[in-house]
Amino acid sequence: LVSAPLDKIDQVIENALGLSTRFFGAERGYVFQVDLEGETLTNTHEWCANSVEPLMPKYQQYPLEQLPAVLAFDRHAIEYLHFPDVNTMPEAMADFRQLLIKDRVKSILLLPMLAQGKFIGLFGYDCVESSRSWSFEEITLLKVISEIFSNALYKKNVEKQIRENEERYRFLVENINDIIWIFDVDTLKYIYISPSLKRIFGYTPEELMQNEIAVHLPPESLKKVLDYLPERLENLRSNRQTCYTEELEQICKDGRRILTELTQNWVFNPITGHAEMIGITRDITERKELEEQRRLLELQRQQSLKADSLGRMAGSIAHHFNNQLQVILGNLELLTLDKHKSGNANKSISDAMRATYKASEMSSLMLTYLGQHQTEGQISNLHELCSSQLKSLREHLPAAHQLILAESGTDQKVNINRDHFFQILRNVVTNASEACSTNSGIISIDISKVPTNEIPLKHRFPIEWVPEHEHYMCLRVHDNGRGIPDEDIYKTFDPFFSTKGPGRGLGLANTLGFMRSIGGGITLSSRHNHGCTFCLYFPIIGETHDRPLQTLKGSKIRSRVEMILVIEDEEMVRFITRSLLENFNYKVIEADSGAKALEILAALKGQIDLVICDLVMPDMDGWQTLEELRKIEQDVPVILASGYDQSFVMRGAHQQQPQAFLSKPYNSATLQQAIEQALS
């Protein structure tokens, strides 16, 4: 038994049982083993004389609690049980006695099997045909046999557990997604790498163990590792920190870079004396991508809230700003009609009017940022438009800067306002030039058709933009300048944000507004000191599904106008409009709200020749007022006035339409033109 191989121990025990049972004059010899939980006994080995029935099938996983006598062995209360006549067993063993009588046992000898001081089973003999008593010398010898059996079975069970654990560990190591490894710090070589390496990196363990670590570490990662080795080695020697977790970029066999998480435990190998890292590497590329997506979604949510707030603020400012400009411009124009003013006054008034128009342009730019300033587009080829502006753009760049337009491989068209396109092209090119150094700068422009799934989600503007079409024309402007810091990227298109000094910062904001107004978008990518790339995406003709703007409907032609109803909630704007109209000899009736206007129109039905109605008013806005006016008098001409852009105002489904639109601030000439349009 001492030299028997593991797979032969059971057979040797059964042979030994047969020899010893016959030698000691019994008809049945057996071994019972306790399970790992110590709850049941199982008859694992048995030898029986030919005339005796085997009991091994009967005693499988027999509850220990039903054998108090056996439990006494477990408690080390007795050394053995010896009953030449089972009928003489004490009353405390009545259940056990009945069990033996039922099995036709006449005499029994039971010895405990112990290993490492622990009860692991029973070794015993039964006499069935006749009674038998065993001498003290025989029992002493049988104790030795029991010990030999115990040691053999313990060895077998321990080795079996070791093999099972090894199999489980091997299965775990070979099938786990993580990579388990041991690294010799002194030689900078891997000692062991688990097979899962190939699934993640494409290398076999042998390939990495035979190569330098630079094979799978990019330069920046290799530097990081080599930099921290001395410090961590010193920590190990001084019994300080020995466990570390870090993120590290690594290179796969096919050249892909993945982000990994390394958990290391530093130890000294007692055999070699070398410092070693025992570690686990986990591919966290997908996890990091999901985290980045969550971060982007949260950032987009925040940016969307900010954009919404900025939009409401800019729209409100533009509306009120234009109302005030209307008052200023109207008063200035009234002064020009004063025949008693001096020549110097004429110049002052003219300068003030120019400044007012300039301020009105600023209001228009704010509406452009919101995507609410839209003009009629033309079907155009982006490459041809860019090519037509190259000379002009180059003239405004520093002499050391180069502007290159790549050839285009597509002739697909877009529908845009060319003047606005030229302006945003100048904005982006100027921004690229200013980002380049004063000594040199290369700005490249190329145009291509891209599928929607290739438009990056990261750094996409407007935040709320979701591409609706299969393809877009992409205008790409790249520079080799200093780039945009990460913390500034989401501020790039904010109104008045600039890193180039005060008084700037509407160019890119209005570029974004223009792209928003045509249903397009912008993506931005940048690396520090490696330049920046703006990609502008334009809907392609044939793939757009924009709602057409409502056309202005004509009404019954009126040959002359005598009385005009002006509906305006701002008193000063109302006064200026009245004054300008009266200068044309019109009779004017004022209403400060839609409800008041309805009362007037109902009272003077058939006498009002024209209505000028403000769009933004409390309680009842311009569209609601227009609809109610038409219920009273269907063919009354109406001019809708607003500080917002006409194309933005006229979007949407409105049953009743005005005959003309008046954009604030307006002068007497544009007012008269609107009246003529409404009556034509």
**Least confident range of 362-376, 530-544, 556-570, 663-677:** 362-376
Angle 454-459-465 from CA coordinates, rounded to 5°: 70
**Least confident range of 29-38, 437-446, 559-568:** 437-446
Q: What pLDDT, on the 0 to 100 scale, is given for residue 498?
A: 67
Q: What pLDDT, on the 0 to 100 scale, is given for residue 173?
A: 66
Band the pLDDT of 555: cuts 50, 70, 90: very low
**What DSSP designation does 43 have?**
E
Per the DSSP assignment, residues forming a β-bridge with 110 are: 81, 124
CA gap 209, 196 in Å, rounded: 14
Q: What pLDDT, on the 0 to 100 scale, is given for residue 343?
A: 60
Per the DSSP assignment, residues forming a β-bridge with 33 are: 42, 121
What string of DSSP letters covers 117-162?
TEEEEEEEEEE-SS-----HHHHHHHHHHHHHHHHHHHHHHHHHHH
CATH at residue 447: 3.30.565.10
Residue 84 phi/psi, 5-degree rounding, is: -60, -30
Residue 58 lies in a domain: yes
CA gap 56, 47 in Å, rounded: 9
Q: What pLDDT, on the 0 to 100 scale, is given for residue 367?
A: 63
Mean pLDDT for the chain overall: 85
Q: What pLDDT, on the 0 to 100 scale, is given for residue 546?
A: 45
CATH at residue 121: 3.30.450.40
Query: Is the pLDDT reported for residue 1 higher than 80?
Result: no
Give the model confidence (pLDDT) of 392-411 as tens digits.
999 988 888 999 999 887 77
Which of 283, 304, 328 is the C-terminal boundary of a domain? 283
- The pLDDT of 293-305, averaged and rounded, is 77
Which residues have a Cβ under 8 Å from the Cβ of 564 and sit 6 or more positions away? Answer: 581, 586, 587, 588, 589, 608, 609, 610, 611, 612, 675
Same domain flag for 600 and 675: yes
CB-facing half-sphere around the CA of 471: CA atoms within 13 A: 12
Q: What pLDDT, on the 0 to 100 scale, is given for residue 435?
A: 84
Which of 310, 337, 367 is the C-terminal boundary of a domain? 367
Same domain flag for 314 and 385: no
- The pLDDT of 18-36, averaged and rounded, is 93
Q: What pLDDT, on the 0 to 100 scale, is given for residue 139?
A: 92
Residue 548 lies in a domain: no
Query: Is the pLDDT reported for residue 351 higher than 80?
Result: no
Same domain flag for 101 and 29: yes
Same domain flag for 149 and 232: no
CB-facing half-sphere around the CA of 409: CA atoms within 13 A: 3
**Least confident range of 20-29, 287-296, 414-423, 466-475:** 287-296
Give the model confidence (pLDDT) of 266-279 as tens digits.
999 998 999 999 99
Domain count, the chain: 5
Residue 624 to residues 482, 517, 643: CA-CA distances in angstroms? 53, 25, 18
CA gap 421, 246 in Å, rounded: 48
Q: What pLDDT, on the 0 to 100 scale, is given for residue 14?
A: 92
With CA atoms as reference, report the closest residue to 374 among 661, 76, 645: 645
Q: What pLDDT, on the 0 to 100 scale, is given for residue 158?
A: 86
Give the model confidence (pLDDT) of 204-214 as tens digits.
999 999 999 99
Residue 372 lies in a domain: no
CA gap 70, 78 in Å, rounded: 10
Same domain flag for 271 and 316: no
**Least confident range of 347-361, 479-493, 644-658:** 347-361
CA atoms 74, 76, 79, 81: torsion sign:
negative
Band the pLDDT of 503: cuts 50, 70, 90: very low
CA gap 414, 381 in Å, rounded: 6
- Is residue 661 within 8 Å of residue 649, measured between CB atoms? yes
Residue 556 lies in a domain: no
Could you tell me which residue, 157 or 244, shows the higher pLDDT?
244
Same domain flag for 397 and 529: yes
Q: What pLDDT, on the 0 to 100 scale, is given for residue 50?
A: 92
Q: What pLDDT, on the 0 to 100 scale, is given for residue 258?
A: 94
Residue 26 lies in a domain: yes
Query: Is the pLDDT reported for residue 373 higher than 70?
Result: no
Q: What pLDDT, on the 0 to 100 scale, is given for residue 376?
A: 66
Same domain flag for 384 and 491: yes
CA gap 107, 124 in Å, rounded: 11
CA gap 664, 645 in Å, rounded: 9
Residue 29 lies in a domain: yes
Q: Domain span at residue 341?
A: 295-367
Same domain flag for 386 and 463: yes
- The pLDDT of 493-503, averaged and rounded, is 63
**Could you give the percent of the chain with pLDDT greater than 70?**
88
CATH at residue 256: 3.30.450.20
Which residues have a Cβ under 8 Å from the Cβ of 123 and sit 6 or more positions away? Answer: 30, 31, 110, 111, 112, 113, 142, 145, 146, 149, 150
Which of 539, 574, 591 is the C-terminal boundary of a domain? 539
Angle 471-477-483 from CA coordinates, rounded to 5°: 125
Query: Is the pLDDT reported for residue 621 higher than 50?
Result: yes
Give the model confidence (pLDDT) of 530-547 as tens digits.
889 999 999 998 754 444
Q: What pLDDT, on the 0 to 100 scale, is given for residue 201?
A: 94
CA gap 327, 571 in Å, rounded: 10
Residue 665 lies in a domain: yes
- Is residue 564 within 8 Å of residue 581, measured between CB atoms? yes
CA gap 61, 111 in Å, rounded: 19
Same domain flag for 126 and 13: yes
- For residue 189, the SS3 value is strand
Q: What pLDDT, on the 0 to 100 scale, is given for residue 552?
A: 43
* Residue 207 burial (CB count, 10 A): 16
Same domain flag for 194 and 154: no
Same domain flag for 197 and 112: no
**What DSSP designation does 540 have?**
P
Residue 346 lies in a domain: yes
Same domain flag for 574 and 510: no
Strand-pair category, 471-479 with 531-539: antiparallel
Query: Is the pLDDT reported for residue 356 higher than 50?
Result: yes
Most confident stretch, 164-173, 334-343, 397-406: 397-406
Band the pLDDT of 522: cuts 50, 70, 90: very high
Query: Tokens representing 63?
Result: 């509850």
Burial code (b: 16+ CB inside 10 Å, e: under 16) for 303-327 equals: beeebeebbeebbeebbebbbbbbb
